[in-house]
Amino acid sequence: MKRESIFSSPARFAALAIVFFAGSAQASAQETAPPRPEAQIQEVASRILQEAEKANCKSRGCRILVTDFVVPSGLTSQFGLQLADQFSNELASQQRGIQIIDRSNLREYLEKERISSDLVSNDSAIRWLGKALNATTVLTGVTKHLGSFVHVQLKLLSCDKEKTAAIEEFTLPRPDSTNTLSGFDPIAQAASKDRWASAPAAYGAGPGEATFPVCLYCPPPPYSDAARAAKFEGQVVLDAVVSEDGRVKWTRIVRGAPFGLNQEALNTVRQWKFKPGVHDGKPVSVLLPLDLGFRLVD
């Protein structure tokens, strides 16, 4: 998905100087003028490609995924999304036998799995995400608002080996709207909009609805090997419909987790058995929210 350049409007700079004569002032301005943001992006993208082999990225077999750039909290921002798009497009235009994975694939995957950017902001989760999208290497970015500028830090990670290419750091002029620099969670926003859109007909549980189904056989989900290796702890939130016979007949991820824990949660819940909920004295299908926690035990 392409976005317009975040630098399409003129950047605002203020300078205070004593001008002795017009000729010298003009020359000084020309000498100190900062590079255009688009030119900076081109130069940094070129250096990233030159350094790619240090992250185990070798021409024909290399597939680079550009993740959503985040703020220090791990959330993404409109500025970070647009800047990531620009770097992905620039890398693709300069590529030398290296494949740049379409970022729309990343967005579709995160929306399907309901995985927020703050859950895939550390190196282990980034490498897992890259493998899930068939990448060999991942470009990550962190943006930080510093007055009139935005500091950007990029690094290139190998998905298969603990290798990292040289870290690139640079500054860009602050966009006109500082709102675009604020962290937000697009996955949570998408989930809240369509949470009930495709749910099958079922009663809710509570006053005026059906009684809560009672769990008869509900073992906890197992850890995936990848989550255990990364020492990840978190939760998967699901919606599930418990049918009249006490079996789970429909599930949907509301908030997911990385490292394959979504599938572990879904596989486990589908085996659960309940005493069904009741409405007007009869067993009925009931829609339940389920929160499955993953905690490591020493």
Q: Are residues 145 and 202 in the same domain?
A: no
Total domains in the chain come to: 2
Place of tokens 């002795």: 20
> Residue 286 corresponds to which tokens in the numbers above?
């009931």
* Domain-ending residue, one of 174, 203, 218: 174
Q: Are residues 157 and 63 in the same domain?
A: yes
Q: Are residues 207 and 161 in the same domain?
A: no
Task: Compare 194 and 226 and report the one with higher pLDDT.
Answer: 226
Q: Is 8 within the bounds of a domain?
A: no
Rounded to the nearest integer, the mean pLDDT of the chain is: 85
Q: Is 219 within the bounds of a domain?
A: yes
pLDDT at 179: 86
pLDDT at 97: 81
* pLDDT tens-digit readout, 138-150: 999 999 999 999 9
Question: What burial letters (b/e) apply to 209-242, b meaning 16+ CB within 10 Å?
Answer: ebbbbeeeeeeebebbebbeebebebebbbbbbb
Mean pLDDT of 91-113: 91
Mean pLDDT of 206-229: 94
Q: Is the pLDDT of residue 178 over 50?
A: yes
* pLDDT tens-digit readout, 256-273: 999 999 999 999 999 999
Q: Is 1 within the bounds of a domain?
A: no
Question: 244-252: which pairs have CB atoms within 8 A and are 24 or more residues apart?
Answer: 244/276, 244/283, 244/284, 244/285, 245/276, 245/283, 246/213, 246/216, 246/273, 246/274, 246/275, 246/276, 246/283, 247/273, 247/274, 248/272, 248/274, 249/200, 249/285, 250/199, 250/200, 252/198, 252/199
pLDDT at 160: 84
CATH code for the domain of 208? 3.30.2420.10
CATH code for the domain of 164? 3.40.50.10610
pLDDT at 298: 67
Q: Are residues 40 and 169 in the same domain?
A: yes
Q: Is 275 within the bounds of a domain?
A: yes
Q: Are residues 139 and 75 in the same domain?
A: yes
Q: Are residues 46 and 101 in the same domain?
A: yes
> Residue 182 corresponds to which tokens in the numbers above?
């604020």
Q: Are residues 161 and 206 in the same domain?
A: no
Q: Is 132 within the bounds of a domain?
A: yes
Q: Are residues 241 and 277 in the same domain?
A: yes
Domain range enclosing 93: 35-174
* pLDDT tens-digit readout, 72-98: 999 999 999 999 999 999 999 997 688
pLDDT at 287: 94
Q: Is 273 within the bounds of a domain?
A: yes
Mean pLDDT of 281-295: 95
Could you say which DSSP state residue 164 is in? B
Q: Are residues 60 and 165 in the same domain?
A: yes
pLDDT at 58: 74
Query: What is the pLDDT confidence band of residue 294, given thresholds at 50, 70 and 90?
Result: very high
Q: Is 85 within the bounds of a domain?
A: yes
Q: Are residues 170 and 214 in the same domain?
A: no
pLDDT at 33: 46
* pLDDT tens-digit readout, 2-48: 454 555 444 333 332 333 333 444 443 334 444 578 999 999 999 98
Q: Is the pLDDT of residue 284 over 70?
A: yes
Most distant pair of Cα atoms in the chain: their distance = 93
Q: Are residues 43 and 162 in the same domain?
A: yes
pLDDT at 201: 87
Mean pLDDT of 238-253: 95
Q: Are residues 159 and 199 in the same domain?
A: no
Q: Is 21 within the bounds of a domain?
A: no
